[in-house]
Amino acid sequence: MGNVKDYKIATLGSHTALQILKGARDEGFETICICEKGSTRPYESYGVADQIIEVDSFADYFDIEQTLIDQNAIVIPHGSFVAYLGPQNVKKIKAMHYGTKGILEWESDRTKEKKWLLKAGITLPRLFKSPEDIDRPVIIKFHGAKGGKGYFLANTPEEFYQRYEEYKDFPGHEKFAIQEYIVGVPVYSHYFYSRLTGELEVMGFDKRYESNADSVGRIAAKDQVDVGIHTTYTIAGNVPLVLRESLLPLIFKMGEDVVRTSRDLEGANGGLYGPFCLEGIIDPELNYYVFEISARIVAGTNPYINGSPYAWLRYNEPMSTGRRIARDIKMAIETDKMEAILG
Ligand code: AMP
Ligand code: AMP
């Protein structure tokens, strides 16, 4: 039987690092936080890291990777890995890595992502092939847009071309998706699937707090038009949420269907496991339109470092998603099943 003392848990200091490192500590691991110079303060102040490694930029991760390998550290990926290293470089991580790397490719390519979700029977907003086809409100999303920056809305082809002009300098503006704009409330569903228990868990829900989408309603429609405000979705934070209880059976089913179909994806090495999130909009008929899947921990779990109402029901102890990951790793170590959690 392995021992948690023989391993360390490491991650990049941003996104969900606080709960990942705290959760690892709570499960008995020593922790390492890789910080960009000038960003160490929270990790020192909250006392979650046994060791802080400073780099000029997260993109320099590979310069310090050997230190992690020497210490038998398991790296926990989160949103900043794909954002700052890119999905191709994440694949090159040589240190022990929690989760299947092949899945990240499916979630970061909109075409592949759509194929996967449709196969799982998930309802998606309609996608338009060409701007000429726009016949209703749509949202235009540039590939590689970060944190909701670089989206715009249009109602007609003319409006599309007019707005598109303004994005000429936006990096990656040549590639974009045109999605039906769903009028409803945003709901992000947080899941955890363990290969060791074979069970899907619903960890909680959040909604995003986006600037300026969440502020335009604070001024009159006339002022919105007069000032010429364009809606943007830059993420500033997350708001906790509980869902109407009668929707829970659907939420469980969607999660289970997504996990099951992931096993057939090319390069997915046995499929999706660990934390993931379905991101979408619930309309007035209670249809849940999913526009995105994140195959890793999402920052919407940050309000629940002490556990969400759902995690409380199940665990009766504080269980963040970060801690749930550490517990999965601990179980794998103690039952000698590391191959079930490393990818
Ligand atoms: P950061 O390290 O904060 O720059 O975030 C890395 C990536 O995760 C970026 O693509 C962000 O858009 C995304 N992200 C960061 N924080 C949040 C959040 N609270 N909710 C949703 N996405 C986030
Ligand atoms: P994303 O970066 O894809 O998670 O989307 C950022 C925000 O854009 C979401 O939180 C929603 O507020 C909004 N959004 C994205 N796609 C749609 C859609 N198809 N219909 C309505 N709102 C959307």
Q: Which CATH number goes with the domain that contains 85?
A: 3.40.50.20
Question: Do 70 and 25 lie in a common domain?
Answer: yes
Tell me, what amino acid is at 215? S
Mutation test residue for ligand 2: of 139, 189, 235, the one with most atoms within 8 Å of CB:
139
Q: Which atom of ligand 2 is nearest to the CA of 188?
A: 10
Same domain? 203 vs 296? yes
72 in a domain, yes or no? yes
Indicate whether 36 and 132 sit together in one domain.
no
Instruction: Say yes or no: 198 and 261 in one domain.
Output: yes
Distance of CA 206 from the midpoint of ligand 1 (Å): 14
| Residue 81 falls inside a structural domain | yes
Q: What Å distances lie between residue 71 and 5, 200, 325, CA to CA?
A: 11, 32, 19
Same domain, 118 and 133: no
- Tell me, using a 6 A CB cutoff, whether residue 340 lines ligand 1: no
Q: Rounded to the nearest 5°, which phi and psi values hold at 338?
A: -60, -30
The answer to whether residues 3 and 134 belong to one domain is no
pLDDT greater than 80 at residue 119: yes
Task: For residues 152 and 20, give the distance between their C-alpha atoms in angstroms, rounded to a whole number.
Answer: 33
pLDDT higher than threshold 70 for residue 217? yes
Asked if 197 and 291 sit in the same domain, the reply is: yes
User: Which helix H or strand E contains 173, and what residues bound it?
Assistant: none
Put simply, whether the predicted model's pTM sits higher than 0.85 gets the answer yes
Q: Is residue 82 domain-shared with residue 59, that is, in the same domain?
A: yes
Q: What single-letter DSSP state applies at residue 20?
A: H
Percent of the chain with pLDDT over 90: 79
How buried is residue 17: exposed, middle or buried, by Cβ count under 10 Å (0-12/13-18/19+)? buried
- Residue 231 domain-assigned? no
Taking residues 263-271, what's their average pLDDT? 88
Calpha distance 132→259 (Å, rounded) = 36
Residue 144 has pLDDT above 80, yes or no: no
Pairwise CA distance, residues 49 & 53, whole Å: 10
Q: pLDDT tier at 169 (50, 70, 90 boundaries)?
A: confident
pLDDT-derived band at 228, boundaries 50, 70, 90: confident
Q: Which domain holds residue 44?
A: 1-98+318-337
Query: What local confidence, expressed as pLDDT, does residue 146 receive?
Result: 65
Q: Which residues pair with 202 in a beta bridge?
A: 191
Q: How many C-alpha atoms does 115 have within 13 Å on its Cβ side?
A: 13
Domain CATH number, residue 138: 3.30.1490.20
Q: Tell me how many domains the chain contains.
A: 3
Distance 15 CA to ligand 1 centre (A): 6
Within-domain flag for 205: yes
Question: 89 and 9, same structural domain?
Answer: yes
In a domain, 65, yes or no: yes
Does a structural domain hold residue 27? yes
Residues 88 and 149 in one domain: no
Q: Is 293 left (phi over 0), alpha (psi -120 to 50) or beta?
A: beta
Let me know if residue 327 belongs to a domain: yes
Give the per-residue pLDDT at 229: 83
* 298 Cβ below 6 A of ligand 2: no
Determine the distance separating the centroid of ligand 2 and the alpha carbon of 140, expressed in angstroms: 10
Q: Could you tell me if the CB of 238 is within 6 A of ligand 1? A: yes
92 and 35 fall within a common domain: yes
- Relative to the alpha carbon of 235, which ligand is closest? 1
The mean predicted confidence, pLDDT, of the chain is 94
**150 shares a domain with 111:** no
CA 237, distance to chain mean position in Å, is 13
Residue 45 pLDDT more than 70?
yes
140 near 232, Cβ under 8 Å? no
Is 230 a domain residue?
no
Question: In what order do the strands lie in the sheet containing 199-212?
Answer: 233-241, 199-212, 185-194, 274-282, 288-294
- Write down the pLDDT at residue 145: 62
